[in-house]
Amino acid sequence: MEIPLFLYNSFSRTKEAFRPLDMNNVRMYVCGPTVYDRAHIGNARPVLVFDILFRLLRYLYGKDKVTYVRNITDIDDKINAKALERGVNIERVTEETIEWFHKDMDFLGALQPNYEPRATAYVSQMIDMVSKLISLSFAYPSEDGHVFFEVEKFADYGQLSNKKVGELKEGVRIENETSKRNPLDFVLWKPSSNEEPGWDSPWGRGRPGWHIECSAMAKDILGDQFDIHGGGIDLIFPHHENEIAQSTCSNDMKKFANFWLHNGFLKIEGEKMSKSLNNFLTVFDLIKRDFSGSAIRYNMLATHYRQPLDWKFERLAEAEKTLVKWNNKIRSKNEADLPKKVLNALLDDLNTPLSIHEMHQLFNKGKFDDLTDACEFFGFVAKDKKGSLEIPSELSENVDKLIKERNIARLSKNFSLADKIREDLLDAGIIIKDSGQETTWETSQNLEIKKLKKL
RNA sequence: GGCGACGUGGCGGAGUGGUUACGCAGCGGAUUGCAAAUCCGUGGACACCGGUUCGAGUCCGGUCGUCGCCUCCA
């Protein structure tokens, strides 16, 4: 049976029916992080978006029939700068950042990709690719140790980003580098100073340009051609455009990736996220503020992946509330069979907001078994359930004691005392729920141990 | 300047020609000592102006507005 999955292909700028090159090995490459700092929520968007696509492909084609590659860029001048600034060596920066990244993405419930190649492990493949591009005269070395890709040699340059070489030339800024034949030519290899990381190459000691790593790693792991290449929309130009140029020209002009998928950008409370505006939000910031990973996922997937997403804490709190409501009705289970309407929404270019709408419908109709399946698929089942924040047992006993006192007060109709106890507990971050004879309590996000101790 | 995206009810957010998205908030009710939680019910929208059509949020043209990329960036 044919699988009716439609995806918006940035290359053709239309929604297309997805057909894998090989049904038994569906291949996807997604541009991963440059590891020099904590992952911000903008980094988390592609991770979560393509996590859903990964899950969907596994669901449709089989768990062992999808290969997902997400690289780690650990050669970059921003990393060098960071190491210099902190006075530590480069590996220290990259290793630490990679560990943070893994922890943060695990917290968000993202499945691990099948491969997570690091640029530093693929330098020889990059050198091979650059050499080949030179031998085919798509690229040229300069006397000062650079190698450039000659954009005008690749007739299709600009197809992905819908740019014309002639127009690009007009808008190009003037650079000091005079060793380029054409200002649009981009760096494949650049020389390193003694302080900078470098590898021996036919062009002297140097390091790769940014774009070549993805081409080399994708080829090595996935082959010359594969199904899906993804990343943030800002990568279309020049990164992905240059990847296409390098890969196509070094792979006998074979088409590189069949589908190009790009997620939209992220704003914070209506403003562009930037360090200067001091609204730079990392995933770790959210963890520290005690938001759950599943709520962050929900919030991220409640907007279609191609739309711009305005990150608001109001929305995140709403997500948290919804998931608590759902999680009270669902039970965790292992094998999920997606409800039809939820699946259909995903098949139409990953319409996750519509899927979530369908999940609300399942809840409203009391179809909790189906809701469980959907939540399992989406990673919405709370592994880190609200209301179970650890508090010391003696404090917990104290809370129980206070509730007992309150219930005695209620029975003797001393409501002012009962309400006082409830309000004090609420102020300390303990929420009380009366249901029939029983009174239960849970911790809220505003839990304050200090205040609780004083009660 | 070039390329592109977007403008839906208080907020969020789907929907590419033919009853209704929906969630949150609001309002009314049930429940409660009063609340919280939960449940039931409910009003409210398609930036503006033209056009096509029996019929448009949905197609076409224009106006206004917001944003992104073109330089490192998810």
Q: Tell me the mean pLDDT in the region A52-57.
A: 97
Question: What pLDDT band is residue A278 in, cutting at 50, 70 and 90?
Answer: low
Whether A34 sits with its Cβ under 7 A from any strand B atom: the answer reads yes
Whether A315 sits with its Cβ under 7 A from any strand B atom: the answer reads yes
Question: Which pLDDT score, from 0 to 100, does residue A444 have?
Answer: 73
Protein residue nearest nucleotide B71, by CA to C1': A173
Question: What pLDDT band is residue A386 in, cutting at 50, 70 and 90?
Answer: very low
Q: Considering only residues 194-233 of protein chain A, which place a Cβ less than 7 A from any atom of strand B? A: 210, 231-233
Bases of chain B within 7 A of a CB of the protein: 1-6, 11-16, 21-25, 32-40, 67-74
pLDDT digits (tens, 9 = 90+) for A103-135: 999 999 999 999 999 999 999 999 999 999 999
Whether A360 sits with its Cβ under 7 A from any strand B atom: the answer reads yes
**Complex ipTM:** 0.93
Question: Which pLDDT score, from 0 to 100, does residue A414 have?
Answer: 93
**Structural domains in chain A plus CATH codes:** 5-266 (3.40.50.620), 290-385 (no CATH), 393-454 (no CATH)
Question: What pLDDT band is residue A175 in, cutting at 50, 70 and 90?
Answer: low
Of the candidates A362, A361, A263, A267, which has an alpha carbon nearest to the alpha carbon of residue A304?
A263
How far, in Å, is the CA of A357 from the C1' of nucleotide B47?
26
Question: Which nt is closest to the CA of A361, judged by C1'?
Answer: B22
**Does residue A381 have a pLDDT over 50?**
yes
**Does residue A346 have a pLDDT over 90?**
yes
Whether A97 sits with its Cβ under 7 A from any strand B atom: the answer reads no
pLDDT digits (tens, 9 = 90+) for A16-50: 999 999 999 999 999 999 999 999 999 999 999 99
Question: What pLDDT band is residue A393 in, cutting at 50, 70 and 90?
Answer: confident
Whether A265 sits with its Cβ under 7 A from any strand B atom: the answer reads yes
Whether A448 sits with its Cβ under 7 A from any strand B atom: the answer reads no
Question: Which nt is closest to the CA of A45, judged by C1'?
Answer: B74
Whether A121 sits with its Cβ under 7 A from any strand B atom: the answer reads no
Six-digit token string for A151:
């954009």
Question: What pLDDT band is residue A99 in, cutting at 50, 70 and 90?
Answer: very high
